[in-house]
Amino acid sequence: MRGLSRLLYLAILVVSFALFSGVGLAADSSSTINVTIQSLSEITVTPATLNWTGNLGQQGVLQTLTIRNTGSQNVSNIYSFMSTLSDEPRRPYGTGNAINYSSGGVIALRNSSNAAYYFAGRIEWNWTSDPGNKNLASFISPVSYGFFKNTSYEYFWALGNGTNGLCNTTGAQFGISTYIDNGTVSTRTPSAVGFSTSDLDYGYWAPASGPLAGSCIAAAPDCSYIYVYTYDKRASPNFGACPNSEFLQVPPLVSGDSHVLTLSAFIPNGIPSGYLNSSTFTVVAS
């Protein structure tokens, strides 16, 4: 009996050890995790502000703007426009006040695939006095003229009106000299051409050569100014109707990717010292 008790005691120890050691064994289980991203079209342009301090007749330092797709949808057909037309509503020449000039009017940019710089939205107003030595023989009805200014270079341009005396109707003409202006007749003899298209807001020209090659020229109906741009595809005004207007980027910009623009201030001669009127640069994607 004493031997049997000893065996029973050992059996109980073995069983107890098995029961207590089982506490440390792991049991597996799992859950399925699903995450759905809501559809969002969003782009973010940084930095929020760019500043230049420039000297007359010189190009400013190069700065960059980054267009980032911060949404969840691919975006494409990216274009931009400057608020120059709102910031410079009247002819500033002769006022002697820098605030009457738009900051946006002196900004040029290039995208990541083109080495050429184009103005983001520059206004050139007509001259109210005769600059002299001009030859407008190629124009049927010349009505206004001025100078396209690019830092220290200037080129003489002219507009001829069309039907009803307007520059966005049949018969309207535009021309710009291919020579840097030096005050002589030979540098003030632009060749007149008819517009590419027009609407109620503007007449549009798309030069293939000369100092404005690759740019669009939009002439105000009253012929008081020309507006120079390239990467503006707005439908109102219909700036996208100009054959030279381009997108900053056509292929999709996928979520998380970015497109870098390089900008500079091209300061022409003859602007009063002081702060130019601030402008807003807007980027649009579809």
Cα distance from N-terminal residue to C-terminal residue, the chain? 94
Calpha distance 148→168 (Å, rounded): 20
Q: Measure Cα distances from 19 to 3, 7, 11 in Å.
A: 25, 19, 12
Per run of 10 residues, the mean pLDDT along the chain (length 286 residues) is 44 43 72 94 96 94 97 96 97 96 97 94 96 97 97 97 97 98 98 96 96 97 98 95 96 95 96 97 95
Calpha distance 167→222 (Å, rounded): 6
Using one digit for the tens of pLDDT, what is the confidence trace for 225-236?
999 999 999 998
Check residue 10 and give its pLDDT: 40
- Please report the sign of the dihedral spanned by the C-alpha atoms of residue 90, residue 93, residue 95, residue 97: positive
Check residue 275 and give its pLDDT: 96
244 contact partners, CB below 8 Å, separation of at least 6: 206, 207, 214, 215, 216, 230
DSSP string, 78-113: BEEEE-HHHH--S--TTS--GGGSBGGGGEEEE-TT
Q: What is the pTM of this model?
A: 0.88
Using one digit for the tens of pLDDT, what is the confidence trace for 226-262?
999 999 999 989 999 999 999 999 999 999 999 999 9
Cα angle 148, 170, 91 (rounded to 5 degrees) comes to 35
Looking at residue 47, its amino acid is: P
By C-alpha distance, which of 149, 220, 207 is closest to 180?
149
Calpha distance 138→30 (Å, rounded): 83
Instruction: Starting at the earlier edge strand, list the strands of the sheet with 216-219.
Output: 122-125, 225-229, 216-219, 203-205, 197-198
268 contact partners, CB below 8 Å, separation of at least 6: 56, 57, 106, 149, 150, 151, 152, 154
Strands 225-229 and 122-125: antiparallel
